[in-house]
Structure 1
Amino acid sequence: MLAETICSAVSAAGLGIAAVTAWRKRFLAATRIAAYSLVPVALVLTGIVDWVAGIAFKPSVWLGFGLLAVAWVLFMTTRAVERRGGGTRKERRAAARAARGDAVAPAASAPSLGAGVPQAQARPKGKSREQSAVPGEDFSDIEAILKKHGI
């Protein structure tokens, strides 16, 4: 009953403001204000106000909203734990299996020998593998590129 009275008073005040606005020759604004002021009365007549008032003043409804909030917090907590790497046991096992597996392209991890250089020419015949890995390797091609660019 109180909600209907408040909605009626708001509509009456809005229609009064719309009348004053129309008297000032601002008809477009007055029409807009009249439209907004009719909404509360329309909500009362459709029964929406009774429905909202019934929801707002029932403790069981608020208990339901509280349970929804708790469920949402639990859901978001589990999502945050999964994103940090906790995941489920099944997901951790699958990740461990994937990490243990062979590489997709095992030869891709081999060092590049340069463009257009055949593998037979890349390693000098007289040197062993240990000698070619010495820190004083031949960097003449890099030096040539740097000189070309004036560095």
Structure 2
Amino acid sequence: MIAETVCSAVSVAGLGIAAVTAYRRRFLAATRLAAYSLVPVALVMTGAVKWLVNTAFSPTAWAGFGLLGVAWLLFMTTRSVERRRGGTRKERREAARAAGGDETVAPGASAPALGAGRQPAARPQQPSAPKSGSAEDFSDIEAILKKHGI
């Protein structure tokens, strides 16, 4: 009962402000204000206010919203971990195949377990690329700086 009265009062006040705005010949703003003012009455007429009030004071509904929040947090956490790792397992496998490190593990199968005393074979270190041509890298930057007089 109180919610319906408050919504009606807000709508009437908003329509009054819209009328004053229209009197000042700001018709676009007045129309927008009138549209916003009709929303609370529309919510009362559709029964959404009663649903909202019943939901706001329901511990079960709040527990449900809490579970939705936990689910969202879990989804976002897993997504951030995927981004740090460089994508999903399928994307990493495809990237490894494209790079030439063809994995022999079939999709859906797990890698073979190592024995008690066995350790994985060390990967050979790739030699770092020589840094010749660093002068060429800075020539573009020097040209831009000269162009701007720096």
TM-score after normalising by structure 1: 0.48
Structure with the greater alpha carbon radius of gyration:
1
Q: TM-score, normalised by structure 2?
A: 0.49
